[in-house]
Amino acid sequence: MIESRLGTNALLAFIGDLDAGYAVHHSSEGWGRMAQLVKRYADLPLGFADAAVVECAERHGGRVMTLDKHFAIVAREGKLAVLPE
């Protein structure tokens, strides 16, 4: 919602605030990775939730089950397997 209403820069600022120490259950390295994903794929509909899914999947085996086609583009980096193939 942040990205769709305020843009990518606002989303990156939000992630930065979370990274600065807000109490949310997430790995400390995860916020930086999510910001990298949002920046790298700014031309895709890869917002906060999708970036969180990708980051979490990368930490836990690298598999995501989705019908969203933009995940296949992210998977080309080699850190993610999209199911069904």
> What's the structural domain count of the chain?
1
pLDDT score of 40:
94
- Rounded to whole angstroms, the Cα distance separating 25 from 52 reads 12
CB-count exposure of residue 25 (10 Å: 0-12, 13-18, 19+) = exposed
Instruction: Give the pair of three-digit tokens for residue 18.
Output: 């979370």
Annotate 30-81 with DSSP letters as a single string. Answer: HHHHHHHHHHHTTTTT--HHHHHHHHHHHHTTSEEE---THHHHHHTTTT-E
Residue span of the structural domain in which 79 resides = 2-83
One digit per residue, pLDDT tens: the chain, 85 residues? Answer: 677 777 888 888 877 877 765 545 556 678 888 899 999 999 998 888 888 889 888 888 888 888 888 889 999 888 889 988 7
